[in-house]
Amino acid sequence: MENMKRDKTVHTGVCHLLLATLALALPVAVAAGPSGQAMSFTCAGCHGTDGSSVGPSMPAIAGMDPEVFVDAMQAYRQDERNASIMNRIAKGYTDEQLKEMAWFFASQRLRLFPQTYDAALAEQGARLHEEYCEKCHEKGGRPGDAGTLAGQWMPYLHYSMEDFLSGKRKWPRKMKRKVDAAIEKAGDTAIPALVNYYGSHR
């Protein structure tokens, strides 16, 4: 974690350099195929305009870390996530196209919508988060390289946790140990507490 963070800052400069070079080479770079923007626009029917979902079962994808986006879509494409529909949709795109869409959503402002949550559970969740989750899901789970939890739709978060716990979705490194520990500490309320905590963010 620590190492990666340092690397990122150092390499921002390199990124910008690369960008400038690519911008110059543009006419060649965008020869054929639909634009990243056009492909991303097609997602809005389910994920809201520019990825700020207003439907509680569909996750917000605006402001999403581009790497998390590509990883998720590749996992869907390979039927590695407990999908109902995203597996069928992800198969329509190449790796290059996924990257272009990832960039589009990463650069969109995330609009969050107030949710009804249980204040007592959210408070318990805040403590659990601090102890077991904050190390990877930094700043209360704000958009980052471990996904977007803060303000994410609660029904979607519940689905995700159900899938992890039932073994239908692969745990990211270390996550299973942390979730098991949180459940050991707080029992059946651990997951609802965490979900209510994330849902309490505005």
Partner 1 sequence: MTNLNRRTFIRAAGAAAALGTLGFPSLVLGASRRVVVVGGGVGGCTAAKYLRKLDSSIAVTLIESKPAYTSCFMSNEVLSGERTLQSLTFGYDGLRRYGIDVLQDTVVGIDPEKRQVQTAGGRAFDYDACVVSPGIGFKWDAIEGYDEEVANELIPHAWNAGPQTELLRSQIEAMPEGGHVIIVAPADPFKCPPGPYERASQIAHYCKHHKPKAKITILDAKDAFSKQGLYIEGWTKLYGYGTDNSMIQWVSAAGGGAVEALDPSTRTLTGLVEDFQGDVINIIPPQKAGAIAFAADLVDGDWCPVDKRTFESSRHKGIYVLGDASSAATMPKSAYAANSQAKVAAAAIVAGFQGKASDDPTFVNTCYSVVGEDFGISVAAVYRLNAETNTIESIPGSGGVSPANASPEIRKREVSYAHSWFKNVINDMME
Q: List residues near partner 1 by CB under 8 A.
A: 4, 7-8, 11, 14-15, 18-19, 22-23, 26, 29-30, 32-39, 41-49, 53-58, 66-67, 70, 82, 84-85, 88-93, 96, 99-100, 102-104, 106-107, 155, 159, 162
Structure tokens at 77: 């494409």
Nearest approach, Cβ of 131 to partner 1 (angstroms)? 26
* Closest separation in Å from C-beta 200 to partner 1: 20
Q: Rank residues 79 and 130 by Cβ distance to partner 1 and give the closer one.
A: 79
* CA 89, 38, 154, 147 torsion-angle sign: positive
Integer Cα distance of 112 and 53 in angstroms: 8
Minimum distance between the CB of residue 78 and partner 1, rounded to whole angstroms? Answer: 12
Nearer to partner 1, 29 or 119 (CB): 29
CB of 106 to partner 1, least distance (A): 7
Instruction: Count the neighbouring beta carbons within 10 Å of the beta carbon of residue 193.
Output: 23
Nearer to partner 1, 54 or 120 (CB): 54
| Least separation in angstroms between CB 96 and partner 1 | 7
Residue closer to partner 1, measured from CB, 20 or 119: 20
Closest to partner 1 by CB, 83 or 181: 83
Could you tell me the smallest distance in angstroms from the CB atom of residue 58 to partner 1? 5
Q: Which is nearer to partner 1, 86 or 183 (CB)?
A: 86
DSSP labels, the chain? -HHHHHHHHHHHHHHHHHHHHHHHTHHHHT-SS--HHHHHHTTHHHH-GGG---STTSPP-TT--HHHHHHHHHHHHTT-S--SSHHHHHTT--HHHHHHHHHHHHTSPPPP------HHHHHHHHHHIIIIITTTSHHHH-SBTTB--TT--HHHHHHHHHHHHTTSSPPPTTHHHHHHHHHHHHGGGHHHHHHHHHHT--
